[in-house]
Structure 1
Amino acid sequence: MNIFIIGLGLIGGSLALDIQQEFKNATIYGIDSNEEHGDLALEKRIIHQKATSSELKNADIVIIAIPVDVSQEVILKTLDNISDTCLVFDVGSTKEAICNAIKNHPKRRNFLATHPIAGTEFSGPNAALTNLFRNKTNIICEVEKTAFKLQEKALDIFSKLGMRIRYMDPKSHDKHIAYVSHLSHISSFMLGKTVIEKEKNERDIFDMAGSGFASTVRLAKSSPAMWTPIFEQNKENVIESLNEYIHNLQQFKTLLENNDFPEIYTEMENTNHIKQILNGILEVVPQ
């Protein structure tokens, strides 16, 4: 089985490692616009061979794991070059724009739109991890537009890698992910910005930073090259989530200004319900 992975960063590299582990007959070919990434992936045995797009005609599966601003064009070109039996799937964080871009392609049935909800704040081949996707949710959009035999091929991979599957339309996916992922990254980036600006005048501030700050600002270490296109493609949903978030922040500030600490207590107590929601999610994850 010839598997080509376009983009050898955290997600692409981690998929390569896990697929090698679960599919011993798979040969992993790597394509990356950064030559150093390709060389490093080969050196670390994330891939078996480096390749070029001209070789995609030999692929049984193509995985596209690159920033969403360039993935649309790459997906279209990939579909132009593959065989009729090849499966192509992407792993991008936005789905509506990509699904719209390829909807009229003659080989639309060869494509599956997916989004594994997994990752870290690190990037590049050095960030690749084994078992990154185990017990993680994988969102699949417009599954009905993919040929059934290719659906089966994809689901076999996702199952062996330990993913849980959730089906969703692209519009709903982008709206929901704006709240649970994209807003979290913006919050982290802006918290980091606020503290960095304050630190210019108060040099001791980072000496006082504990684990709470570290965990909250962790996502600010994420790649701007990956996240700026995500915010661009999902702009409307991100703005909607920001408006609601800013409203809640402003409301909290007003309560402080008015010394309304009983209401602040109530607000936090009500929000503690998030523990039950998150515990419920963890309970349904197979061990």
Structure 2
Amino acid sequence: MGDDLTEAFLIYMFGLEGAVLYGMDARFSDDGSLQGVVVEDDQRLLQNFEYHRYSGGRHAQDINLDLISQFEGKGYGVNSGDLQGIHYNLCGEITSSVTTGVDPIKALIKFEQIYIENYGVVYTDGVAILEDHTMGTDAGDLSALMEEYGWHGERVGNADDLYPWRDERGWQPKPDQVADHLNNGRAVIALLNLDTITEFIEPVNNRNDASHWVSILQVIETREGDTVVRIFNPYQNREEWYPFDHIVDSWELQGNQTEPGPNYRAVVGTPPEELSWLPNP
């Protein structure tokens, strides 16, 4: 594929489907519609953390926690049978760590130590989450992990949040809003819908759906005026391109869009001052 700019240039010139003709790896549904375009290994903007070496299943994020020496014998993940030790809901921890430049295994060890309680209410309990393979993470958990590495995480999705998506154009995230965060060095970790059969980000179909944290890395507009985004998807430890509208249609919603939310939830991460000069991933 050439250097790192080749991929974005092809998409700018020809759009996602046109870029496939030049060698990009695309996946199509049975009806012929584009599901997603997988980024070539040598084109990835993020360092490729090889955390799937700890995977006990065919999905990279299904890490077998028993294989991590610090967790051995603690009963984390599935606690019996052939799948013992496997945790199925680590997308939040993995995405937060990779986005902030931290090895996911080291971040999981750090996450175990996080316990935040206020006035008798437990907000984050790393041990409890690691023990229960069905338990995922919320925006507060991701922010707590990012704070351990000097980042500041802000929840997005409620009307009174610091970075609300809502404006005179509607409740949904807009390309310029997401791009503005990235262009100012902030990370955007979004709660989208994963189709666990196709393994791509898809709108809810009430069959194979799973709420799934991903990191939005790049927003570009093609010469035809279409907006596309590059994301990091921890499910198979890869980066993928999608039309921006497809991402919005797949973004997590609760209830309708005429109420204060939470809708289109995300975490916006601001790096520590010593990293603020770096470009976004």
TM-score above 0.5, yes or no: no
Tell me which structure has the larger Cα radius of gyration. Answer: 1
Q: Which structure features the higher share of helix residues?
A: 1
The two structures have a TM-score, normalised by structure 1, of 0.28
Q: Which structure carries more relative contact order (alpha carbon 8 Å, separation 6+)? A: 2
The two structures have a TM-score, normalised by structure 2, of 0.28
